[in-house]
Amino acid sequence: METVKQQVLQALILTKNEEPNIKRVLDKLTWIDHILVIDSYSDDQTISILKSYPNVQIEYRKFDTFAQQCNFGLGLINSEWVLSLDADYVLTDEFIEETKQFVATDTNKVAYNTRFEFLIYGKKLLSNNTTPRPVLFKKQHGSYFDDGHAHRLEIQGEIGDYKGKILHDDRKSLSRWLSNQDGYSIRECDKLLNLDTNGGNSLINRFRRTKVLAPFFVFFYCLFVKGLIFNGWAGWYYTLQRTMVEMLFALRLMEAEDLKNT
């Protein structure tokens, strides 16, 4: 594949013990001259894998929030365009070719949204609950902010759309996933408790405030509305994961309200 010049496009990735994922991600990024990785002091084989790729630069920063990590990385990027990826995002050939076209074309677009195909240990789901979001943007037009446990990219300018998708393929262990979700549930609980009436009145937030309906809603939504009941064990795995997330969140809400009333 033709290489995009470094001063036009660089990639940004955050890592923390991504040994099960990072090689598959980097194998699809060899066409980019420079990849900046902000690592939160991994203690598995992540660093060894990163150092085996000549186009990777590693910088270390203690993790505080995803947005802070990303904005730190943006401060070290010196290209016009940034391709900001999670450490479990595997690019498709169609996505790569579109990216090359976007950065080589002079238009009024300053960012591009992409959709995701969710994989469970390499097996594609028929559908998932993720929404499109910008991953390619002009550095001067984007900055990150924290939103609960997640981070969002604020874009100043017109946003286009990819036709190609990114494969979201996280193969870390279930124990690691459970540990992460516990921390995420605390931040999501804090977010909901601090939302005003208008900002926190979405359908899922109304279900969450009941503390019992959200897990049932997500379970049936994934299986029957999204059709994952026809997706074999992978569909059930994803459904049970999403249901467990809502159960953790409900427990955190109960705990927070109980502490508030004591």
Question: pLDDT tens digits, residue range 134-152?
Answer: 999 999 999 999 887 678 9
Distance of alpha carbon 154 from alpha carbon 52, whole angstroms: 33
Query: Which residues lie below 8 Å from residue 147, measured CB to CB, with a gap of 6+?
Result: 191
pLDDT tens column, 112-134: 999 999 999 999 999 998 889 99
Radius of gyration of the chain (CA): 19
List phi, psi (to 5°) of 24. Answer: -65, -35
Tens-digit pLDDT profile for residues 52-67? 999 999 999 999 999 9
Q: What is the mean pLDDT of residues 14-41?
A: 98
Write down how long the chain is.
Answer: 262
Q: Are strands 9-15 and 81-85 parallel, antiparallel or unpaired?
A: parallel
| SS3 assignment, position 6 | coil
pLDDT at 199: 52
Look at residue 47 and tell me whether its pLDDT is greater than 60: yes
pLDDT (average), residues 242-249 = 94
Give pLDDT tens digits for 165-208: 999 999 999 999 999 898 888 888 888 888 754 455 778 888 88
Distances (CA, A) of 128 to 87, 114, 133, 204, 228: 19, 14, 14, 16, 8
- Which CATH number among 3.30.750.24, 3.10.20.30, 3.40.50.170, 3.90.550.10 corresponds to the domain 9-168? 3.90.550.10
Segments making up each domain of the chain, as ranges: 9-168, 174-260
Q: What is the mean pLDDT of the chain?
A: 92
pTM above 0.85, yes or no: yes
